Amino acid sequence: MNRIFAAIVNNCFQHIFLIGAILMAQVTFAEDFISQVTRPERLVVKEGFEVERLYSVPKKDFGSWVVLCEDDKGRLIAGDQYGSLYRFDRPARGETLTDENLEKIDLDIGHAWGLCYAFDSLYVVVNDKKHEGRGLYRVEDTNKDDKFDKVTLLKKFQEVGGEHGPHAVVLSPDRKSLYVACGNQTALPTYQSSRVTECWGEDTLQPRVYGRGFMKGVEAPRGWICKTDPEGKN
């Protein structure tokens, strides 16, 4: 019995050591990965263009940046898809960013999958249940001290997200309105008018087949582009 017990204990310690070694290797790999992001020389660009790597975002500190826009002063605003917004000056040519260059926007807003600076405001498409839920938000600097201080939910979207949920917000070509785009699992919000015929029949004669059950029961209209005024009223 003692021999069997000793063998079991020894085997357990071997497994624990193996797991520890794997975890250490993963940590080392993660740290090395930061310095191994896509090298500029691997990007193919048109003649006359150059690529510089300005910053490698440490995920454990600043999350996963998925969206970027420029404000009225030429600064850049980046969004962590599961966290905060960060503002920073554009580095001079040949220079890079450091963590100290980043200014966290200290408001109850983030989880952005779409950003657009227009009409003296930052428009944010939130794709998460945080804040007031998924929707189009307007972030403003009301006292003109160069600090955002007001967040307004302009339009709430259906509470589904991920890659098939709310996405982009862009300024219209005439710079008088905004366009918002949402993925194919997002139902239409309430709206005032439509440029397409509002006939949402699926016209499916045979029983619908859902690939592995994905989006089962989700029918048209889903996935849309809407135009809105700066106040989100029309």
Residue 220 in this model has a pLDDT that exceeds 60:
yes
29 pLDDT tier (thresholds 50, 70, 90): very low
What's the pLDDT band for 47 if we cut at 50, 70, 90? very high
The answer to whether 189 and 226 are in contact (CB under 8 A) is yes
Max CA separation in the chain (angstroms): 84
CA distance to 3, 69, 135, 163, per residue, from 113 (Å): 59, 11, 10, 9
Percent of the chain with pLDDT over 70: 84
Structure tokens at 134: 């998924």
CATH number of 55-228: 2.110.10
Give tens-digit pLDDT for 69-109: 999 999 999 999 999 999 999 999 889 999 999 999 999 99
At residue 36, the pLDDT reads 59
Q: Which residues contact 123 (CB under 8 A, 6 or more apart)?
A: 114, 115, 116, 117, 136, 137, 138, 139, 169, 178
Q: Over the chain, what is the mean pLDDT?
A: 84
CA–CA separation, 18 vs 136, rounded Å? Answer: 48
Q: Taking 50 as the threshold, does the pLDDT of residue 7 lie above it? A: no
Residue 128 structure tokens: 């998460």
> Residues 6 or more apart from 200 whose CB is under 8 A from it?
219, 220, 221
* Phi, psi dihedrals of residue 229, rounded to the nearest 5°: -80, 170
More confident residue, 30 or 161: 161
For residue 197, give the amino acid letter: T
Residues 135 and 112: their CA atoms lie apart, in Å, by 10
Q: Pick from 129, 134, 181: which is nearest to 154 by CA? A: 134
Domain boundaries, the chain: 55-228
Structure-model confidence comparison of residues 3 and 137, the more confident one: 137
Task: Map residue 23 onto helix, strand or coil.
Answer: helix
Name the pTM for this structure.
Answer: 0.80
In this prediction, residue 170 has a pLDDT band, given cuts at 50, 70 and 90, of very high
Contact at 8 Å (CB) between 120 and 140? yes
